[in-house]
Chain A
Amino acid sequence: MNQVTSIENKNDDILLSIQNLKTHFEVTKGGFLNRERQTIKAVDDVSLEIKRGETLGVVGESGCGKSTTGRSILKLEASTGGSIKFRGTELTTLKGKSLRKMRKEIQMIFQDPYSSLNPRLNVEEIIGDPMLAHGLADKKTKREKVKQLLVKVGLSPEFIDRFPHEFSGGQRQRLGIARALAVEPEFIVCDEPISALDVSIQAQIINLLEDLQKEFGLTYLFIAHDLAVVRHISDKIAVMYLGKIVELADSDKLYDTPLHPYTKALLSAVPFPDPVVEKERAKTRTILTGDVPSPANPPLGCNFCTRCPERARAMSEKGIDCSKVEPEYKQAEGGHWVACHLA
């Protein structure tokens, strides 16, 4: 650890700080010789902070940019603007050796346990190779270390010579977790780690992630579309829509007093596993009409205005036309951030 970061650590405990992150993609649109191009603003002006040992949940519908945000932190996608600081070190400009060193600290758990493990490598190689690459084990100690890690993630050490196809989905996800832990990271981006798993297995993996967090003092960015799961695991939650964070607050606060109409609609759409409650809720449910607009051509003004059920209220109460004026992303009260004219 260099001197600058250690001083910063004493001042506050913010592990990761993202300021105005932009990740835009240029895509061809057609036209003569496919020369016409357009920009997809997958992540557009996202700012957030994560404290050490904390879990920040990111929710939103497909295409809202939640995965791209996570992948930008690991530099799996090249960000096009803004800054990402990890322990005070700017990541966006990092290259070569120092980048490789930083990769040891930030790991990722992927959504699909079937495609994210190399089918030609056995368990010892999948989990052990990263240890060798970062000098955390040598050829002699590797096997023993891999076995210990297997036990930690709830797998039998006898599995060490097996290949991924010999495991079930839940077991593979445990392997994916063990691989991420192999290099003793401080920060893990979990990109929908349970959505490909069966209901009875999901709870096992959530519990495992929580246990490991306690044991190793890990910090998580937890990306998911299941709001109940995110609420369970997260300390703070960011709600994303069309590349922007529309609301960010402590988990309980966000669920008890949501301020943004999109958050309200999302929460209202989640079905509760209780038929009596569900029958009542069905009567008052806010059902959003239409689909998420294309990120290539987001609406002007507030990007949610095309689906917002409270747009008329903004006009009558505040005299603001949401399709013209973009709301500022501001702090409504302590730690509760929201981007809405009505909040």
Chain B
Amino acid sequence: MTKVLEVRNLRTHFNTSKGTVKAVNGISYELEAGETLGIVGESGSGKSVGVMSLMKLIPMPPGEIVEGEAWFEGKDIFKMSESQLEDMRGNSMGMIFQDPMTSLNPIMTVGRQIGEALERHTKMTKDQVKNRTIELLELVGIPMAADRINNYPIQFSGGMRQRVMIAIGLACDPKLLIADEPTTALDVTIQAQITDLIAKLQKELGMSVIWITHDLGVVAGIADRVLVMYAGRIVEEATVEELFKNPRHPYTLGLLKSVPRVDADRPEKLQSIDGMPPDMTKELVGCPFYARCNYRTDKCLSQEPKLEEVGSKHRSACFVDVRSAKRTTENPYQQVTNL
């Protein structure tokens, strides 16, 4: 298998008036050709900033890529010039943003918005651009595409706007498609349409996909491999089957147990994760999940566990083996805040 992307020790910080927010705090991962990588985490866990950094789409300042390498097509993205970056964005690396309502330009026809990427990155003639635009709209399942290229985003529904976003992301046959919560703003029947569409296109076009989401159900359906992020760090990484069958980090375990399921008996009470994510402006000592962890030990308070191999293609950042360890506390957060 060939590697499409290799990220080494990426750190992205934001310098704010309240202090430095270490939004991404040293993450490393790889992505293989044709693979779908799911990135799961809560808001503020650094999952979006992590991939936005790869496209250098972070507002700088206040953002700053402090450290790290990201190898894509044999080049380090962070050493590229602005014009090299522009050649890459929307070309070999496509992006679908979360909110189809605000990410499209309201005063430009959708045809122009899709064609823009083709004009910038290819040597197509005007007619070729138009034909390819129609082809792309048909590919993402918009009926009467030839007529609709002259429409404005407001004439499209939410699901159709997201399809337009996908068409833009796919315009130049990217090697890597980054999808940042592409279905979060959509209804479940439309979500099913979009996930199905991206999976189908991926098979046809052979691209790699990074799919950011907070929905474990979506991840289970689309990902080959999953990264779980918490407080700017990767806390667990595994193949999707392994992660759901054999979670090793207490946070992953908590997440899996806290979602109600349609396909299982209803529990009397949901198991929730106590407390809330840490304040990222403060310097964290020890394990970032300490305050909410049911399995914590004294060691976790002073030392931060590293992401280490715990099985084949399975990494976890925890001192404790949750398979055999006993829960040390039932309401961890209360005890910490009472300290």
Contact = CB atoms under 8 A, between A and B. Distances in A.
B258 A199 contact: yes
A315 interface: no
B192 A272 contact: no
Majority-rule SS of A interface residues: helix
B283 interface: no
A270 B196 contact: no
B244 interface: yes
Nearest to A281: B221
Given A206-B260, A269-B192, A200 B216 contact: no
A278 B218 CA distance: 9
Contacts of B158: 62, 291
A273 B216 contact: yes
B262 A272 contact: yes
Given A207-B269, A273-B220, A287-B196, A225 B241 contact: no
20 contacts: A199-B216, A199-B255, A200-B273, A207-B270, A210-B269, A227-B262, A228-B217, A266-B189, A267-B262, A271-B195, A271-B221, A272-B262, A275-B220, A275-B223, A275-B244, A277-B263, A279-B221, A285-B192, A287-B196, A291-B157
Given A200-B272, A207-B269, A273-B244, A231 B255 contact: no
B135 interface: no
B189 A200 contact: no
A275 B193 contact: no
Interface residues of A, number: 48
A303 to B, nearest CB: 15
Contacts of A266: 188-189
B254 A274 contact: no
Interface string A202-242: 11101100100000000000000101110110000000000
A202 B215 CA distance: 12
Nearest to A200: B273
Contact of A231 (B189, B195, B223, B266): B266
A132 interface: no
A30 B53 CA distance: 45
Given A210-B269, A288-B189, A273 B259 contact: yes
Interface of A: 61-62, 156, 168, 170-171, 198-204, 206-207, 210, 225, 227-229, 231-232, 251-252, 255, 265-279, 281-282, 285, 287-289, 291-292
A270 B187 contact: no
A285 B188 CA distance: 13
Interface in B99-119: none
Closest 6 CB pairs of A and B: A271-B217, A203-B272, A232-B260, A203-B258, A269-B192, A61-B187
Given A201-B276, A203-B273, A291-B159, A273 B256 contact: yes
A266 B188 CA distance: 7
B28 interface: no
Please indicate which of the listed interface residues A170, A202, A227 has the most CB atoms of chain B within 10 Å of its own CB. Answer: A202
A200 B244 contact: no
Contacts of B218: 271
A270 B260 contact: no
Contacts of B193: 287-289
Interface string B259-292: 1111100110111111011000000000000001
Contacts of B277: 198, 200
Contacts of B274: 204
A231 B276 CA distance: 25
Contacts of B187: 61-62, 225, 292
A121 to B, nearest CB: 23
Contact of B42 (A62, A200, A231): A200
Contacts of B261: 228, 272-273
B43 interface: yes
B9 interface: no
Contacts of B170: none
Nearest to B43: A198
Please indicate which of the listed interface residues A251, A255, A271 has the most CB atoms of chain B within 10 Å of its own CB. Answer: A271
B190 interface: yes
Contacts of A201: 272, 276
Nearest to A287: B192
A275 B241 contact: yes
Contacts of B292: 200
Given A266-B188, A273-B217, A275-B220, A200 B255 contact: yes
Contacts of B337: 156
A274 B270 contact: no
Contacts of A251: 266
Given A200-B42, A203-B270, A231 B196 contact: no
Nearest to A307: B189
